[in-house]
Chain A
Amino acid sequence: MDLSEINYLTQCVNVIAQSDLDKLGVPQWSLMAFFCIALAGFGYYCLQYGVVKSNAMITVGVVALLASGLLIAVTQNPSLELYVFYAFTGLATAGGVAFLTARQPVYAALGFATAILSGTGVLFMESAHFVAAATMIVYAGATIIIFLFVLMFAQQGDLTTYDVKLNNPAIAAIIGAILLGTIVLCVQAVPESDAIAGNAATARPFSQSGEAEPSSTARLGRSMFTEYLFMVELAGTLLLVATIGSIAVAQRSLEAE
């Protein structure tokens, strides 16, 4: 490790240490506790009884989402870009909830596809164009294959016991609520500031973006193939190993029959 590398790391540590993460007051803690308890109860109810059961419930959910979006559009009067951004985030979260609470595996896979594709829309709004396109391509292929698997393995119509009876829904809801509450609390404690434009302390030289928004695919490639070249090689090796491994695992099952 040469001298500039050490300097870069110490600068990063200094930037992290200067934030006001430790200054959490009592009202914030009590708010987080209330938030956690409410969220855990609601999540346990949703998990145990399955919100996405029938078409009527799905329709009610979609109507509620659209109505809340319309309400925000009327009252808050956001710009169109912001409105599309929040519509994508809301749709992705709703897809995730549908994925969790659906009993039919096909509905769950549909919810997963909704969540991932809406998340891709969020990435587009965040000017990460190449990442969004790659995510869409990879997950579109993966989702189609998952659909094939679901249709192959899971019987349509009749639900199996392992689809209906979940594994410790109460404990999982409590853990998830505590995790989410802690993240929200910690993010709230960070003071609001402007974007760190071209900060040399947090960016390697070839990774800095010239513009205000990091949206250039050419600069992304330059960053990836200069400063992260070792990581790219490692990812290629990982792909090779995964290919060999999946072939080996699938072949062993063929021999067993």
Chain B
Amino acid sequence: MTQETTHLVYFGSAIFTLGMIGFLTRRSMILMFLSLELMLAGVSINLVAFSKQHHNYQGQVLAIIILTVAACEAAIALALIVSLSRRKSTLDIQAWSELNEVPMRSAEVPVVMVDQVRHYPKLTPAGLEPSLTPSPVELGYENWNELGENTDTPMEKTQNA
């Protein structure tokens, strides 16, 4: 490589690395998005450098394609940032950390038996109060307690006798 290309590759990789560190460390969603843009800029500088090294236009064409992808990314990322920050009214990316994978349980943690302790899902009451099912008295069965006696099995009848 020529000396100029070498220095440009150093420069592009420095910009790319700065963007990557920014993406890993920043917690504000807008600044994470800017870090991504910085990474793409580093890559396109690299492509243009090799385009000059090889005396052809292929690298510049790829740089233009990267520019298009960056524009698409900007459109979608800004829409996402707006919708996400409206939900939780913060730009912190760690407000969404419940979306990540649950860490594996270690072996020392005792396994809770499902039969002994039952965890039923608790739903927060919301909306209208649900209509209760009508009681048998309301449905017209005045003597619903005696209804069971008529439906006894023949086995029990013989036992009673």
Instruction: Give chain A's interface residues, CB within 8 Å of chain B.
Output: 43, 47, 85-86, 89, 92-93, 96-97, 99-100, 105, 108-109, 112, 115-116, 119, 122-123, 126-128, 130-131, 134-135, 138-139, 142, 145-146, 149-150, 153-154, 160-163, 165-169, 171-173, 175-176, 179-180, 183-184, 187, 190, 192-199, 202-204, 207-209, 212-214, 219-220, 223-224, 228, 231, 235, 238-239, 241-243, 245-247, 249-250, 252-253, 256-257
Contacts and interface: CB of A to CB of B under 8 A. Distances in A.
9 closest Cβ contacts across the A-B interface? Answer: A253-B83, A242-B72, A172-B24, A96-B18, A203-B56, A162-B27, A162-B92, A246-B79, A223-B57
Nearest to B71: A138
- Mostly, the B contact residues are helix
B28 A163 contact: yes
B21 to A, nearest CB: 4
A148 B11 CA distance: 29
A65 B41 CA distance: 22
B60 to A, nearest CB: 5
A116 B41 contact: yes
A246 B38 contact: no
Given A92-B15, A119-B45, A204-B58, 18 more contacts: A43-B21, A105-B31, A130-B64, A142-B37, A145-B74, A146-B30, A150-B30, A153-B30, A160-B90, A162-B92, A168-B25, A169-B25, A173-B21, A183-B10, A202-B54, A207-B58, A220-B61, A223-B58
Contacts of B24: 167-168, 171-172, 175-176
Contacts of B157: none
Contacts of B82: 250, 253
Contact of B71 (A47, A160, A239, A252): A239
B161 interface: no
Interface of B: 1-11, 13-15, 17-22, 24-28, 30-31, 33-35, 37-38, 41, 44-45, 48-49, 51-58, 60-61, 63-65, 67-76, 78-83, 85-87, 90-94
A172 B24 CA distance: 6
Contact of A145 (B2, B31, B41, B78): B78
A106 to B, nearest CB: 11
Q: What is the interface of chain A mostly: helix, strand, loop, or mixed?
A: helix
Contact of A176 (B21, B52, B54): B21
Contacts of B3: 192
B28 A209 contact: no
Nearest to A187: B9
Contacts of A197: 55
A253 B68 CA distance: 26
A18 to B, nearest CB: 14
A212 B52 CA distance: 9
A180 B14 CA distance: 7
A187 B9 CA distance: 8
B20 A115 contact: no
A187 B133 CA distance: 77
Given A196-B54, A223-B58, A246-B76, A238 B86 contact: no
Nearest to A228: B61
19 contacts: A93-B18, A99-B18, A100-B25, A108-B31, A112-B34, A112-B37, A115-B38, A119-B41, A127-B52, A131-B60, A139-B37, A145-B78, A154-B30, A175-B20, A176-B17, A187-B1, A196-B53, A198-B55, A238-B72
Nearest to B14: A93
A180 B82 CA distance: 34
A163 B30 CA distance: 11
A122 B53 contact: no
Given A97-B18, A150-B30, A223 B61 contact: yes
Contacts of B78: 145, 149, 246
Contact of A214 (B9, B21, B37, B55): B55
Nearest to A92: B15
